[in-house]
Amino acid sequence: MRAAVLGTGVMGAGMARSLLRDGVGVTVWNRTPARARPLADDGARVAASAADAVADADAVLVALYDAEAVLGVLGEALPASAPETVWVQSATIGADATRRAVALAAGAGRTLVEAMLLGTKQPAETGRLTLLTAGDPAVFARIEPLTAAVSVKSVWAGPEVGAGTALKLACNAWVASVTAASAQSLALAGALGLDPNLFLAAIDGSPTDCRYAHVKGAAMLAGSYEPQFALDGALKDIGLIDDAARGAGVDTTLLDALEALFGQASRAGHGGEDMGAVYTSFGGAEGAGGAAGGSGG
């Protein structure tokens, strides 16, 4: 199988390497070429344009940052792919942009399915993502070598493209909430004169335990914010979740609070750091100014 990966940010680069390890031929493209070039050392072909990248691909994995990038690249590159090429939309772009992506693919006579990504840098690099899929199951059977290489689990949300996005928004609402709640409890414990690690010890193994709280909590307490999921990416997704919730008549009180907390951390200069830097909004340890990261190209 020949695959093209459009977008070589944290997630795209990790998935490209997972594909290469499984013997899939990979061509990569990124809007900033320097971010794609290191993948040549892993065996990928680096394309000069998105249209060039998809020209001989059996499947195209779209791992760009936002709706503007995804829709722009689809408009440019869909016609350059073979009619039988399967396009796999993996970027978190919200419900409205997903409908527009479906329309672009239909207009070009191309097949588009969703495989939304649940996981961060380490699962992407080790082929252990969870895929939230939507579309024709027969199409997924055709691209099984690709999905098997990048994931450890798939959850099929339904036959209509857009269901994967809906499930991803619900999951990311949980991820953002758990991250902020962990930050609040750690900061509160410290402010009350306790060792914040006692909070993590207290929930360990109990019905209220959450492994994610331990992973993010340890990084927060160390002031280590190397991006696994960049804070600005989380803030973008919270905005998409908020839009979806309002459109569906779901109360947004918690989302509004999350948007304020993550927005505060972003304005303080933590946008390119890991989303765990929301801890700083509670007066937690300042980050060490880690390298900027993100999920798109």
Question: Do residues 221 and 196 make contact, with C-beta atoms less than 8 angstroms apart?
Answer: yes
Neighbours of 247 (CB within 10 A): 11
- Catalytic residue from among 121, 168, 216, 236: 168
DSSP string, 239-277: HHHHHHHHHHT---HHHHHHHHHHHHHIIIIITTSBGGG
> b vs e for 55-83, b when ≥16 Cβ sit within 10 Å of the residue's Cβ?
bebbbbbbbbbbbebbbebbeebbebbee
- DSSP 3-state assignment of 27? strand
> b vs e for 133-147, b when ≥16 Cβ sit within 10 Å of the residue's Cβ?
bbbeeebbebbeebb
Cα–Cα distance, 23 to 149 (Å, whole number) = 9
Annotation marks residue 236 as catalytic = no
Residue appearing with tokens 């690690």: 197
The residues, ordered by sequence, that sit 6+ positions from 93 with a Cβ below 8 Å of its Cβ are 66, 67, 70, 71, 101, 165, 240
Question: Do residues 5 and 16 make contact, with C-beta atoms less than 8 angstroms apart?
Answer: yes
Residues marked as catalytic: 168
